[in-house]
Amino acid sequence: MNFTEAVRVAQEQYPKKVTKPIKYGTAGFRSRADALDFIMYRMGLLAGLRARDTSSVIGVMITASHNPVPDNGVKLVDPMGEMLAPAWEVHATTLVNATDEGIASALEGIVSEAHIDTSKKALVFVGRDTRPSSNRLCDAVIAGVTAVGGEFKDFGIVSTPILHYVVTCYNDGGKYGEATVQGYYQKISRAFNKLRSSGTSNGNYDPVILYDGANGVGALAMSEFLNNMKKSLNVTIFNKGEGVLNHLCGADYVKVQQKWPEGVPKTQNVRCVSVDGDADRVIYSYLDSDGKFYMLDGDKIATLVAGYLQELVKGLQLKLGLVQTAYANGASTAYITEKLGVPVACAKTGVKHLHHMALEFNIGVYFEANGHGTVIFSKTAREAIETAAQAKNNSAEKLSQVLDVINETVGDAISDMLLVETVLHARGWSVSDWNDAYTDLPNRQMKVTVADRAVITTTDAERVCVTPEGLQNTINKIVKAFLKGRSFVRPSGTEDIVRIYAEASTQEEADNLAIQVACAVYEHAGGIGDRPKAPC
Ligand code: 16G
Ligand code: MG
């Protein structure tokens, strides 16, 4: 194939105006939307090649998730809904760093390295979030796909998990479900309706939910879901788009700021479900009778789900495990290993790392503390569950219904919410019963801006800092002075900053620990601007 057309369109419509090197990271490419046109175009080109390489449909999702509105981003979805294969992350980086004329040789390089037959057909599924820039950037992706002779299907505004779902379903010939947006809603709502067929209330369980849509696609997805569902949940949607996307609301705000979302009435003892800007993360929270705020994050969800599934798989000879990251609250890890006897593995931040590690179990539950996660079932597990269900094993029958509520292709805020609701209902728990299972250690996250965040490198699933030399020793010394103290630092994969995590026995100590470690980073790694003073 000759790539002159790809170069012509690049030069005429999507010229590159920056020279700074850019890397395909955990969240694909993400930055201010006005700097993304040429990147989107090139990701369209790349998706066209990847589709031929895999002889499958490839997904391109345009979103910056929980970032502020002026940002945007792009991620490629591999054939079975996975994140883009590592070798292709390298190709993506090469292609984006080429000059406009250099596109041709970059593409030729990829074709020859991956032995791609360019005469094959290529089909790319494209989806986008609600950001004002997403439409324009979607056109750029489509221009890229077309410039390498590919075809596309535009799914319009959809959540990230919906795009993963339709890509997977299309590529497996519909075994996982129907490859349409409607097929997605129907599959999970049908499964949920079935699980609720025995009744709506149970013990302390109350089906009332305040839903925080983050003013994004999660609000649209929930109202669509409610249209398909019987009245077994009483959901009121807030932050439907009347406010600014992710601003003072949504899963990331609630998790990081540890605050009730704006725009949602402060009703006591009713759980609030917050999703992020592309609806692949979910965080629960509630206010008690004194108005005190409680947050139930990905760790609480993971422990709830893993504990429940562990009970259901008893007797089926299946190995169930939980995968967390360094951000998992120490109390959650202790609870799940010591109280529930579920093995826990720790992965690097980023869905692909968790997903990969979860594959080592027959049933792998993986969740980041930020609320992104799902459950994946191996072929062995599916078969064992189906066989036992056919033999009328009660737990296996339930498990096989639960399986259909789960979107195994990627973390999915709505499907995760339905899973949580299923477990709470089965246990007859109120949100505070759930919260009482264990008490989180107080924690604090901070960020520090440094001249070059790449000077920070880590090992042991990001729990130990390797460079700059001496930083980990300093952190060790600081941490020693705190009861139940734990802290680590890592370069962000999505922002030009270094992240700091700290936990300790009280909030004041956790804050204090975070500040001291932030100062250590500032000193060892070339901090920019003011020295960190207060938690931010
Ligand atoms: C991305 C990752 C998410 C991770 C976050 C960390 C995917 C699909 N998403 O959003 O898993 O938690 O980055 O961001 O992998 P950070 O590197 O800025 O802390
Ligand atoms: Mg997201």
pLDDT over threshold 70, residue 237 = yes
Across 178-190, average pLDDT = 96
Tell me if 495 CB under 6 Å of ligand 1.
yes
Cα of 106 from ligand 1 centre, angstroms: 27
CA 347 – CA 477 distance, rounded (Å): 25
Is the domain of 365 the same as that of 302? yes
Q: Convert the pLDDT of each residue in 2-39 to its tens digit.
A: 899 999 999 999 999 998 999 998 889 999 999 999 99
Is the domain of 13 the same as that of 149? yes
Is the domain of 221 the same as that of 332? no
Is the domain of 8 the same as that of 152? yes
The DSSP secondary-structure symbol of 338 reads I
Strands 443-448 and 457-459: unpaired
Q: Convert the pLDDT of each residue in 318-365 to its tens digit.
A: 999 999 999 999 999 999 999 999 999 999 999 889 999 999 999 999
Across 183-210, average pLDDT = 92
Task: Please give the full DSSP string across 244-304, using - where no structure is assigned.
Answer: -TTTT-SHHHHHHH--PPTTS---TT-EEEEE-TTS--EEEEEE-TT--EEEE-HHHHHHH
Indicate the pTM of the whole model.
0.93
CA 67 – CA 24 distance, rounded (Å): 17
Strands 123-128 and 58-62: parallel
* Domain of residue 244, residue span: 188-197+205-295
* Last residue within a domain, chosen from 277, 295, 313: 295
Residue recorded with tokens 């790349």: 46
Could you tell me the pLDDT band of residue 201, with boundaries at 50, 70 and 90?
confident
CA 62 – CA 53 distance, rounded (Å): 22
Confirm whether 173 is domain-assigned. no
Confirm whether 343 is domain-assigned. yes
Q: Find the largest Cα–Cα distance for the chain.
A: 68
Q: Which of 31, 65, 189, 430 is catalytic?
A: 65
**Residue 68: which CATH number?**
3.40.120.10
Return the structure tokens found at 365.
Answer: 């539950």
Q: Convert the pLDDT of each residue in 445-467 to its tens digit.
A: 999 999 999 999 999 999 999 99
pLDDT over threshold 70, residue 227 = yes
Could you tell me the pLDDT band of residue 199, with boundaries at 50, 70 and 90?
confident
* Last residue within a domain, chosen from 435, 459, 480: 435
Cα of 398 from ligand 2 centre, angstroms: 29
Tell me if 350 CB under 6 Å of ligand 1.
yes
Is the domain of 237 the same as that of 350? no
Tell me if 27 CB under 6 Å of ligand 1.
yes
Could you tell me the pLDDT band of residue 536, with boundaries at 50, 70 and 90?
low
The DSSP secondary-structure symbol of 16 reads -
Average pLDDT, the chain: 96
Instruction: Work out the number of other CB atoms within 10 angstroms of the CB of residue 506.
Output: 13
Query: What does residue 375 show for φ and ψ, rounded to 5 degrees?
Result: -125, 135
Is the domain of 291 the same as that of 313? no
